[in-house]
Structure 1
Amino acid sequence: MQNWPLTIAAILRHACGVNGDRVVTTATGQGGYRSTTYSELGEQAAQLAHGLRGLGVTGDQRVGTFMWNNAEHLAVYLAAPAMGAVLHTLNIRLSAEQIAFIANEAEDQVIVADGSLVPLLAPVLPLLTTVHTVIVTGGADTAALSGTDITVLGYGDVLAGQPTQFDWPEIDENAAAAMCYTSGTTGNPKGVVYSHRSTYLHSLNTCTANALDVSSSDVVLPIVPMFHANAWGLAYAALMAGADLVMPDRFLDGASLIELIESQRPTLAGAVPTIWNDVMNCLEKNPGHDISSLRLVACGGSAVPLSLMQIFEERHGVYIQQAWGMTETSPVATVAKPLPGVSEGRHWEMRATQGRPMCGVEIRIVDDAGHPLPADGEAVGELEVRGPWITGGYYLGRDAEKFDSGWLRTGDVGRIDADGFVTLTDRAKDVIKSGGEWISSVELENLLIGHPGVLEAAVVGVPDDRWQERPLAVVVLQDGVAHTPEELREFLADKVVRWWLPERWTFVEQVPRTSVGKYDKKTIRARHAEGSYEVVTL
């Protein structure tokens, strides 16, 4: 067999050559769109690569991005790794200090930034130590970026006059292709480096029928940010499969997404549950919209409420499929595709799990001493994972103890049943241990969100004099709805054992979220500790 490297350049050549007429459509706001073909995208990537060469990117230097999901970001996704550099997506929702920490640790040389994000990038620039050039898209006013030694250039100026062909070098498939950093909810973010090989294999598996079944018949809508674990691999999978792409740019509210879905008719989309919850509530308040072009919605990042899946399927004809992964797993590791021929009850039980591992990924649960536990659906332990697109260590060797066993210790707690389906009950740091027994905050949250009057619900453990910890329910009610803690507790009473029922309740306008849309339980606990919440105790 030929020893043919699995690289981003191979994906680029296939996408822009074999599927050159496929289209990337980017939202511009208020119902406007602009489009480019894969062939044109390839030419843009070649021009960008030449421009980056001229700026001194000649080896595996890091090229940062500070961008929304759009065609220009996709061009960097292709150009930087294919030319031998390393794509480094920066999370625009972190603080200036965290962004600077990440860019400095990764030693970014160039940052490609969206013009609309200039105000967010400006306070970061004085803190940077290795970046020498910022390239700004969209012809934006860049005056706010002045005052440092960093050169600021326009994206169009960098590309102007450059050849539309590039001699993409032969790259070792095990070389670094991209970097992402964890969201840093506990301490500083940690870097994960993806190889060309890991990215290729992850994309290939994502296209399989047991995962998302991406094909040239699809129109793929990556709502999940391209800085969040490489948009869950959706962009590279679409390029590999020859699917059209629809990019939402910065227009991520429920109404804008519904308009986009109705006009562009995507068949496959991916986003965290909070996005789909916003879309659902917008649809409920404004009936008559049609989003049924979506054959499949990939949903993850946090547990997907069963009620959300059922409402989308029953009322809107949209199938939501839960998946699980982390920045460290590229990210998709398991997919909740039910087995054929099972009862309806078992079908929904499987849908409610985080799913079974994709081929190539191995999973297990272990006890506190690291001993493997049985996959019997009852034993509960920390999930460990390994495989060809699972990181073997963090950048610069940080937190090396998480990899001591040759497996990645995920920090997720849960169980595995005899069919291989994983059910996660909590993050290890979020487990509520009451009187020596575990209470699943995730299960309580999903049940509460199933109440018709509840918009959002987060549950955390708070100190208790008698039981060490007890659950606090933090609830956002639907507009115009009034419910008491007693009513919500009664709603839970026949669904969980009695000692799981929260005695402490607080109603808020919005649950704090992390930079990637998950509930920020660290902030919730801090606000409770400082007395910021008005808590009702039953």
Structure 2
Amino acid sequence: MRGLMMDVPLLVSSILRHAETSHGDAEIVSRAADGALHRSTYAELAARSRKLARALDRLGLAAGDRVGTLAWNSQRHLEIYFAASGSGRVCHTVNPRLFPEQIVDIVAHAGDAVLFVDPGLVPLVETLADRLTSVRAIVVLSTEDGLPRSERLPGLLAYETLIAGEPDVYAWPDLNERDAAGLCYTSGTTGPPKGVLYSHRSTVLHALTVSVPDCFGFKAADAVMPVVPMFHVNAWGLPYAAAMAGAKLVMPGPRLDGASLHGLVRGEGVTMTAGVPTVWMGLLDWVEARGETLAPLERVGIGGSACPPVMIERFAALGVDVIHAWGMTETSPVAVVNRPKRSQAALSPEARLALGRKQGRPLFGVELRAVGPSGDDVARDGVAFGAMLVRGPCVASRYHGSDNDGAFADEGWFATGDVVTVDPDGFVEIVDRSKDVIKSGGEWISSIELENIAVEHPGVREAAVVARADPRWGERPVLFVVPSEDGSFDEAEMAELFEGRVARWMVPTELRLLPELPHTATGKLQKSAIRKLL
């Protein structure tokens, strides 16, 4: 017997329709590159998205065509999110921080028919113009007056001119919820970037999942600022989830320095934000150096790479709750979140901090396993290491344009490439990436654990640990450190810092000081480039 409920598809357009009808007056604030603030509402977002959808029709884009973006977090970018996906096209966000050759390859692989570009990124596109062979039109996210003049890109269109003549009436098509809605490419840390093709169904389910209280807990009274870029796995789903809740949206644009972020938090009443650890180091340093406050900020989601416990402490001292999370492009991305259980309410501050360093528990819809070399599940004792496998309705089944891939070969499970432990309460802790874990004398050393200890020292701004080949032990850890502006750190201090914290054989053999460490285009430490420094 089948249920007798309406068969209404889960579509990106349904999120926008709800935001307009139930929260039409909720504010959207967008900051331009020059610092100017633009204020709008969900009602205006919906109207302008319909105008853009009609403009895409006029440009001759068919259902399933890819709409590329090279853009920062702004309202115009948000309009493309909803107009492209809602009208049956695929919104393909391209990371402008990738190498130019990677951008060319990604645009070609995706087959982008049109490319929307922030004005400040037009010079980048000029260098690629001759190689963007699939692109039929390039639209600059500007007014006609702000349109850059380019000899290499003579046919540039201004966004505001493109949509100006279109009526704001548009019937969003009744799509299949399993149709493609978005396309993002991996950061390419383990090989060429690979495309992950999200469906309307997975996008809506993911937005619902991250909205629950035990994740980001969005509500209409919130002001949400996605610091994580919109080209980085759809800003972790924050734009969709905030629209579902009717929360105020604050789009920070390209300026993510401490002063700029602090100004938006205070000036716009931001209560929730999210991003990678490297961004928050700059904000915390700026605030602490000036004795400022982060009120009314309540919570900050941190992912992309492991959150050091000292960062959790620094935010706590400012009255901000850190939500440690884990995910990948392939998992939409948020899959694991650290929120305490009722049984853990009485933990001591020290025990709570130790719990906070873990990535957390799988969200509903995410099944997770940690398997040993034999393929059997390891003990859930918080000690045994295992390779993490996941599956669920928001996890990719294969990569775009690829019939098969080794990561998806394990009977419907996706091999994440992470080495983890799982404790009896189901909390996952990422010990390392499988390629980064250090094997010394037959024993495993977690580079993440050593990095977290290193950044507790006041003289250390950032730290990375990689393996160096050793004729006796196989591999030994080397610690790379970026000293803080007014701090110092030497090998004697390193030995003292690790004393009693880890076994002696785990202590790094060598210390190297650098003015900065290489990062990937999404802000993660680039271990492959760091290894080359050896």
Q: TM-score, with normalisation over the residues of structure 2?
A: 0.96
Q: Given the alignment of the two structures, is residue 339 of structure 1 paired with residue 345 of structure 2, yes or no? A: no
Report the AA paired with residue 389 of structure 2. E
C-alpha distance in 1 between matches for 2:232 and 2:266: 25
Of 116, 123, 127, 1:119 maps to 123
* 1:151 Cα offset (Å): 3.8
* 1:381 Cα offset (Å): 1.0
Report the AA paired with residue 331 of structure 1. P
Residues 183 and 515 in structure 1, CA contact (< 8 A), matched pair in contact too = yes
Of 503, 510, 516, 1:497 maps to 503
Match of 2:156 in 1: 152
Match of 1:536 in 2: none
Residues 339 and 347 in structure 1, CA contact (< 8 A), matched pair in contact too = no
* 1:143 Cα offset (Å): 3.3
Aligned with 2:215: secondary structure?
Answer: coil
Report the AA paired with residue 392 of structure 1. S
Q: Given the alignment of the two structures, is residue 308 of structure 1 paired with residue 293 of structure 2, yes or no? A: no
Aligned with 1:334: secondary structure?
Answer: strand
1:38-53 → structure 2 map (5 Å cutoff) = 38-53=42-57
Match of 2:77 in 1: 73
Of 230, 242, 247, 1:243 maps to 247
Residues 31 and 259 in structure 1, CA contact (< 8 A), matched pair in contact too = no
Residues 370 and 387 in structure 2, CA contact (< 8 A), matched pair in contact too = yes
Match of 2:29 in 1: 25
Query: Aligned residue pairs: how many?
Result: 524
Aligned with 1:395: secondary structure?
Answer: coil
Q: Which moved more, 1:244-253 or 1:20-29?
A: 20-29
Report the AA paired with residue 316 of structure 2. E
C-alpha distance in 1 between matches for 2:366 and 2:313: 29
Aligned with 2:364: secondary structure?
Answer: coil
* 1:347 Cα offset (Å): 2.3
Q: Given the alignment of the two structures, is residue 35 of structure 1 paired with residue 26 of structure 2, yes or no? A: no
Residues 412 and 426 in structure 1, CA contact (< 8 A), matched pair in contact too = yes
Aligned with 2:32: secondary structure?
Answer: strand
* 1:337 Cα offset (Å): 0.3
Match of 2:324 in 1: 322
Report the AA paired with residue 358 of structure 2. T
Long gaps (5+) in structure 1: 529-538
Q: Which moved more, 1:476-485 or 1:379-388?
A: 476-485
Alignment deviations for residues 3-32 of structure 1 (CA, whole Å, 9 cap, x no partner): 010000110110112111111101236763
Alignment deviations for residues 17-51 of structure 1 (CA, whole Å, 9 cap, x no partner): 21111111012367631111111111111111111
Residues 126 and 152 in structure 2, CA contact (< 8 A), matched pair in contact too = no
Match of 1:534 in 2: none
Match of 1:480 in 2: 486
Match of 2:408 in 1: 403
Match of 2:532 in 1: 526
Report the AA paired with residue 411 of structure 1. G
Match of 2:223 in 1: 219
Aligned with 1:290: secondary structure?
Answer: coil
C-alpha distance in 2 between matches for 1:487 and 1:377: 30
Residues 480 and 513 in structure 2, CA contact (< 8 A), matched pair in contact too = yes
Q: Residues 117 and 398 (structure 1 numbering): CA distance in 2 closer, same or farther, change over 3 Å?
A: farther
Q: Given the alignment of the two structures, is residue 280 of structure 1 paired with residue 284 of structure 2, yes or no? A: yes
Aligned with 2:351: secondary structure?
Answer: helix
Of 359, 364, 368, 1:363 maps to 368
Runs of 4+ in structure 1 off by over 4 angstroms are none
* 1:115 Cα offset (Å): 0.8
Residues 459 and 486 in structure 2, CA contact (< 8 A), matched pair in contact too = no
* 1:141 Cα offset (Å): 4.4
Match of 2:456 in 1: 450
* 1:484 Cα offset (Å): 1.3
* 1:469 Cα offset (Å): 1.0
Q: Given the alignment of the two structures, is residue 295 of structure 1 paired with residue 301 of structure 2, yes or no? A: no
C-alpha distance in 2 between matches for 1:24 and 1:223: 14
* 1:255 Cα offset (Å): 1.2
Report the AA paired with residue 437 of structure 1. E
1:431-442 → structure 2 map (5 Å cutoff) = 431-442=437-448
Report the AA paired with residue 212 of structure 1. F
Residues 11 and 177 in structure 2, CA contact (< 8 A), matched pair in contact too = yes
Match of 1:54 in 2: 58
C-alpha distance in 1 between matches for 2:485 and 2:400: 45
Residues 68 and 114 in structure 1, CA contact (< 8 A), matched pair in contact too = yes
Alignment deviations for residues 400-459 of structure 1 (CA, whole Å, 9 cap, x no partner): 221122111000111111100000011111111111111100010011111111111111
Aligned with 1:308: secondary structure?
Answer: helix
Long gaps (5+) in structure 2: none
Of 20, 39, 55, 1:16 maps to 20
C-alpha distance in 2 between matches for 1:79 and 1:66: 16
Aligned with 2:134: secondary structure?
Answer: coil
Alignment deviations for residues 63-114 of structure 1 (CA, whole Å, 9 cap, x no partner): 0010000000000010000000000000010011100101100111001111
C-alpha distance in 1 between matches for 2:338 and 2:85: 31
C-alpha distance in 1 between matches for 2:179 and 2:323: 32
Alignment deviations for residues 311-341 of structure 1 (CA, whole Å, 9 cap, x no partner): 1112x11111100000000000011001223
Of 188, 200, 207, 1:203 maps to 207
Q: Which moved more, 1:124-133 or 1:366-375?
A: 366-375
Report the AA paired with residue 75 of structure 1. E
> Over aligned residue pairs, what C-alpha RMSD do you find?
1.3
Of 2, 6, 19, 2:6 maps to 2
Match of 2:473 in 1: 467
Alignment deviations for residues 326-365 of structure 1 (CA, whole Å, 9 cap, x no partner): 0000000011001223412432222110000111111011
Residues 476 and 507 in structure 1, CA contact (< 8 A), matched pair in contact too = yes
* 1:482 Cα offset (Å): 2.1
Q: Given the alignment of the two structures, is residue 98 of structure 1 paired with residue 110 of structure 2, yes or no? A: no
Q: Residues 304 and 86 (structure 1 numbering): CA distance in 2 closer, same or farther, change over 3 Å?
A: same
Alignment deviations for residues 278-333 of structure 1 (CA, whole Å, 9 cap, x no partner): 1111112222x22121111000000001111011112x111111000000000000
Match of 2:386 in 1: 381
